[in-house]
Structure 1
C-alpha cells in the first residue's frame, strides 16, 4: 500500500470523500518534495502541516490544515511564529468552503490572495481517447533525461534550475509511488508530467510544455499518458490542481471541478 498522510475527519462534518482524498494526495506530495529536499523541512504542529523549502519562496513554503475546517487565528499565529524565526515568506493553502469563511481573517492578518487553483478529478466512467502515439513517453532514468525534464519544468514554471533540482531531487523521485514522465517528439523533449500515488488516488503534477512546443496538444497528451498510467496501476480516482492555462484543457479532457484551493501569501518582511 502506498504511504498516506493521516488526516482527521471531524465527526460532526460530512466530508466529501473525493476532496478529502485529493487533500491527502496534495499534502503528501508537497510534504515529500520538501522533506527530501536538501534544505527542506516538515513540521506537523497539531493538525497543521508546514512545508519549508529552505528559501523565501511562498509557493513552496506552504501551510495546510490536515482536517476539514476553517483557519483560525491560532493557526496563523503558529505559522507566523515558525516562519518569522527563519525569516521566510509563506502561504496558507485552504479550499472551499473553508476558504470563504477564512478570507476576512487572512486579510486582517496581512495576507494577500496570490492565486486560486481549481481542484479537479477525472471521473472513472469517462472513456479514454485512442492513443495515437504522437508522443514517445519515457520515465527519466539517466542524468541527461532528468536534466531534460527539469529544463522543461523550469521553462514552463519560470523556476531557476537550482531550485527545480532541489525540489525534484533524487531522493524524492526515487520513491516507488512517484513517477516522472518525459514526452518526446522525434527525440526532442517537449512535455512533462508526474504521478504521485497515495492509497486512494493518483495525483498529477508538474505538467509542463516547453515554449517552442506549445499549442500543439502535447501537454494534453502527456496528461492523458499520466491518466492511463494511473488507471493501469489500479487507481480509479485521478486528481490534479489546475493552473489558469491548464484548466480549459483539463475540462475538455473531462476533468471535473471538486473545489477551489486558495493560496494566501504572507510576507515576513
Structure 2
C-alpha cells in the first residue's frame, strides 16, 4: 500500500486536474500545478507536491499575483523534511481542512431512507450547481458538471422525494475519494450526512476499494471521526495578503 496521505492528496488533486483540463485552464510546471475555471470558485488552486521552500513560495506568490483569477494555495503538512523557517508573511490563511482516511474492512449500516441520483444530463447539472452553494457557500460552476459528468460522479440525495444534499464520489487507484458532502440547510441535524456516508462507503466496499479518503472542515470532522476516520494531516489554504 502506498502512503495513504499521498493517495489522499493524489485523489483530491486529480479532481482539480480533470476539471481544469476539461473546462478551464490547467498548467503543470516543474515545481507547481495550477487549475482554474472562469465563473466558478472551484477548483482555482495552485499547488505543489514537494517540500515548500522560500524560493518556491516566492515563485507561487508571483504566479498568483499575475493570475487573472483569484487562486488558493493549499499547503499540506506531509513532508517531515520541510523547513520550519518558511516565511508565509505574504499570505493569509483562508481556511484549513483535515485530511482523513478509513480502511474499508467492514460494511456500515444500510441507509434505507435515502436514494441517490447521479447527475446525468444538463438540467440535473444545473440543478446540482445551484444547490451546492446552499450547502457550502461557494460556487462550482455548472459548466464544470456539464463537461465532466460522464467521467466524474456528482450525486444528489433525496429523502421521501425531498432533496437532502450533494456529494462527489471519486474512486481512483486504491482509494475512494469522497468530496462535497453537503446538506441543504432545511435538512441539517437529522443524521443525513452519516447516511450519505453509509451509502458511499458501502459502495466502495462493494467495489473492493481498500480505503476511503476525504478532507474535512472543522465543522464536519466529528461526523467522520464517528465513522472511524483518522486524522492524518492538515491542509492550510492560503491566499495572498493585500496591503
1:147 pairs with one of 117, 126, 135: 126
| Equivalent-residue separation in structure 2 for 1:252 and 1:196 (angstroms) | 22
| Equivalent-residue separation in structure 1 for 2:38 and 2:123 (angstroms) | 26
Question: Could you list the per-position Cα deviations for residues 48-101 of structure 1 after superposition, in whole angstroms to 9, with x for gaps in the alignment?
Answer: 1112224695x632222123x2x1223223323333333433222122244995
> Are residues 189 and 146 of structure 1, via their aligned partners in 2, closer, same or farther at CA, if it must alter by over 3 Å?
farther
> 2:120 touches 2:149 (CA, 8 Å); kept in 1?
no
Task: Tell me which stretches of 4 or more aligned residues in structure 1 moved more than 6 Å.
Answer: none
> Are residues 128 and 104 of structure 1, via their aligned partners in 2, closer, same or farther at CA, if it must alter by over 3 Å?
same
> 2:104 touches 2:211 (CA, 8 Å); kept in 1?
yes
1:42 pairs with one of 5, 26, 42: 26
Find the residue that maps to 2:112 and give its secondary structure: coil
| Equivalent-residue separation in structure 1 for 2:242 and 2:170 (angstroms) | 31
> 2:64 touches 2:240 (CA, 8 Å); kept in 1?
no
| Alignment pair present for 1:260 and 2:234 | yes
> 1:194 touches 1:226 (CA, 8 Å); kept in 2?
no
| Alignment pair present for 1:76 and 2:57 | yes
| Alignment pair present for 1:174 and 2:150 | yes
Query: What is the total number of aligned residue pairs between the two structures?
Result: 243
What TM-score do the two structures reach when normalised by structure 1?
A: 0.80
Q: CA deviation at 1:216?
A: 0.8
2:49 corresponds to which residue? 66
Question: Could you list the per-position Cα deviations for residues 123-175 of structure 1 after superposition, in whole angstroms to 9, with x for gaps in the alignment?
Answer: 223x3332141111121223443333223312011134xx4314x32222211
1:222 corresponds to which residue? 196
| Equivalent-residue separation in structure 1 for 2:80 and 2:127 (angstroms) | 37
2:142 corresponds to which residue? 165
What TM-score do the two structures reach when normalised by structure 2?
A: 0.88
| Equivalent-residue separation in structure 2 for 1:35 and 1:185 (angstroms) | 35
1:95 corresponds to which residue? 76
Q: CA deviation at 1:185?
A: 1.1
Question: Could you list the per-position Cα deviations for residues 223-246 of structure 1 after superposition, in whole angstroms to 9, with x for gaps in the alignment?
Answer: 221212222222111100001221
Find the residue that maps to 1:149 and give its secondary structure: helix
| Equivalent-residue separation in structure 2 for 1:174 and 1:118 (angstroms) | 29
Gaps of 5+ in 1: 1-14
2:6 pairs with one of 11, 14, 20: 20
| Equivalent-residue separation in structure 1 for 2:176 and 2:130 (angstroms) | 24
| Equivalent-residue separation in structure 2 for 1:99 and 1:41 (angstroms) | 32
Find the residue that maps to 2:47 and give its secondary structure: strand
1:207 corresponds to which residue? 181
| Alignment pair present for 1:193 and 2:167 | yes
Find the residue that maps to 2:217 and give its secondary structure: coil
Find the residue that maps to 1:207 and give its secondary structure: strand
Matches within 5 A, 1:109-124: 110-124=90-104
Give the superposed CA RMSD.
Answer: 2.6
